[in-house]
Amino acid sequence: MNKMLSLLGFAAKAGKLSYGMQAAKEAMNAKTAAVAIAACDISEKSKKEVRFFAEKNSLRFLLPADVDIAAVSNAVGKKCGILTINDSGFAEAFLKAYEGGNANDK
């Protein structure tokens, strides 16, 4: 979990994230998003909506079980529970961390 949150912080500093439902949907529809992520404690309606737009745009949707809104907000520096990573390198590293691998592996 710490590796995932650290990667979100680095991506935020690099300007490679879209925060919130509306910005995430826009990034997905514009094909700039590489992966969609939601905190585990967002509403069921929001989860369904993000999942719908991710699937519609052939994107991976991640819902880390132990990453809540507070953890995401703390990592990225602003309150949010829904975001997209808009960079393939950060997305690949995040996926490796999410799946339990070493995010620095090639």
Q: Determine the pLDDT at residue 1.
A: 66
How distant, in Å, are the alpha carbons of 47, 72, 105, 106 from that of 84? Answer: 13, 12, 22, 22
For the chain, the straight-line distance linking the first and the last C-alpha, in angstroms and rounded, comes to 20
Q: Across residues 56-61, what is the average pLDDT?
A: 96
- Single pTM value for the model: 0.89
Q: Which residue has the tokens 């949907």?
A: 25
Tokens at residue 49, please? Answer: 């909506």
Name the fold adopted by 2-98. Answer: 60s Ribosomal Protein L30; Chain: A; (3.30.1330)
Give the pLDDT band of residue 73 (cuts 50, 70, 90). Answer: very high
pLDDT above 60 for 102: no
pLDDT tens digits, one per residue of 22-48: 999 999 999 999 999 999 999 999 999
